[in-house]
Structure 1
């Protein structure tokens, strides 16, 4: 008995996976952007989708956010949010993603005059239809824009009250500079009282990021941290993350735009220290890489083993905001897949 050479790309692509860190607005592909712009009579600065992609020249978080927010202007009607969501879930299902926790940024739309009801209803209908048609399950996380006021965040939490059954948690994203987690302590405490899960972005190599991670753990008491790579620099923070079995949602390709690295060394360190590190795509339409591409590029750079890949996929299910019984069902799928693919193959005697 011996094993045949394994195609890592195929191994990754065909494995059942979960994605926990993907911004719905960050899945807006250029072709859909142009279609919605034409439908809604929204002028664009570019003549073709190819020209738009060529403008994706990001070198740090602010340069990305400038284009990211401009791109949202084409989202106007319930049907637009439906199409955006259904298109992403279709793509995710094609990559054998079976479960997703989706971020969305309502403030970026209500500030343009789009109603909260329009946004969340379009998204929710697409989630239901995608689960029915494609078998992909998803839950929704409402993010607050950290450069806006805490009062605005609280206002949007109140707008979400009629739709609480459609939400699994709240998050905090966008420009981290001068916008620490503590700024939003009251709104996150309110969200927890509403039985919503809590997560916050602590982007890689941002100013005061270690202070922000500490606030996430001690003051806000989040259930997960998005990114959080810099926790490796502080043994005390790392120990807390280990003890609390807290998931970190790392996004390799988007990290490369900010720090010119897929952070494969850091991911390796997390695995070695039994941190529940997960791999995600962040804003795949802008970074031109969905979840499979993130895993494949990370594996190539860091030479991760099949067991490393399985562990990271399992981690995502372990820290997903699901019932234990549901988590165990997904873990069984991953285990069954790995056993089937990695089982020894009989070979003829010479």
Structure 2
């Protein structure tokens, strides 16, 4: 029996894997370009959407970085964040832990303050307007070197009391987690949580490095961990949350068809999988769309488990998690 759409959208959920720059919709890109007087190499929204055809991660990253160039002011980052939270709220998201890529912006001359203050203001506006709580995770770009990551961590110092953790994203293959072991140790010494993209295109060994060398608190993607039964056992025994992104996996050809997505296997093997939207403007859907993509291959109880996992895997305090789990129970009956 098909799971009603009202159940999918109404189910209280957290989003733990969202790149805020990846929520930049084509219409917004044109709006920001106009107000900042920037030329973009597309004649229309339709032409831009047509460019969102990717065969691998790098194809996406090339256009992602080009799009980010239209973000120039605190108001841009505020408006970008608020627009995301409006969509997330409509999808039943009540808490989000969002990634941002400061190096994408500081490398083109924007001060760290413009990015951080704009996003934090947008998050404050979203909580006041929609009641959605949120926190920031600063991601290092793995195609750059560790020295650049250290520079970014230093630049973030005045905002560390408002940043929940650090992450690792961008081109995975050829840039193993071990490359950033020292900067992650430094972040940990500042009391920051640690997450990392691993096992999306990179091998299971990257997941092991993220666990052993970066000491991660949460694993982003992690699909290829399934290639190692011992690694699956380790992740399951430790209750490590995996922030899985079905539509991203399909769009980037990590998975060939929704029917073949590993979410059902992950749940069967006891992994704490969660559903997230990654870069929704580029990959064709926000959180509810990602739930819909895999719902035909799951039971109602599986969706409840995924929603529960999203809070159990969050960095919220126990009292808040308990409240959210109770809200899921009340909703699901």
- What range is the shorter-chain TM-score in? over 0.9
Q: 1:203 to 1:71 in 2, by over 3 A?
A: farther
Whole-Å separation in 2 of the counterparts to 1:233 and 1:246: 17
Q: How does 1:203-218 map to 2 (within 5 A)?
A: 203-204=199-200, 206-207=201-202, 209-218=203-212
Report if aligned partners of 2:241, 2:273 keep a CA contact under 8 Å in 1. yes
Q: Within the alignment, does 1:279 sit opposite 2:269 as a pair?
A: no
- 3-state secondary structure, aligned to 2:86: helix
- The counterpart of 1:124, out of the listed 120, 126, 133, is 120
Correspondence for 1:226: 220
Q: 1:325 to 1:262 in 2, by over 3 A?
A: same
TM-score in terms of structure 1 length: 0.92
- The counterpart of 1:114, out of the listed 110, 122, 141, is 110
Correspondence for 1:18: 14
Kindly state the Cα deviation for residue 109 of structure 1 after the two structures are TM-superposed.
Answer: 0.3
Q: 1:262 to 1:143 in 2, by over 3 A?
A: farther
Report if aligned partners of 1:255, 1:261 keep a CA contact under 8 Å in 2. no
Unpaired runs of at least 5, structure 2: none
Q: Within the alignment, does 1:138 sit opposite 2:134 as a pair?
A: yes
Correspondence for 2:313: 319
Whole-Å separation in 2 of the counterparts to 1:222 and 1:297: 28
Correspondence for 1:343: none
- 3-state secondary structure, aligned to 2:213: helix
Q: 1:197 to 1:116 in 2, by over 3 A?
A: same
Whole-Å separation in 2 of the counterparts to 1:90 and 1:256: 25
Q: Within the alignment, does 1:85 sit opposite 2:81 as a pair?
A: yes
Unpaired runs of at least 5, structure 1: 340-350
TM-score in terms of structure 2 length: 0.97
Correspondence for 1:176: 172
Kindly state the Cα deviation for residue 7 of structure 1 after the two structures are TM-superposed.
Answer: 4.7
Q: How does 1:19-168 map to 2 (within 5 A)?
A: 19-168=15-164
Correspondence for 1:346: none
Aligned length: 331
Whole-Å separation in 2 of the counterparts to 1:143 and 1:321: 16
Q: How does 1:323-338 map to 2 (within 5 A)?
A: 323-338=317-332
Bigger radius of gyration among the two: 1
Report if aligned partners of 2:199, 2:206 keep a CA contact under 8 Å in 1. no
Kindly state the Cα deviation for residue 288 of structure 1 after the two structures are TM-superposed.
Answer: 1.6
Kindly state the Cα deviation for residue 262 of structure 1 after the two structures are TM-superposed.
Answer: 3.4
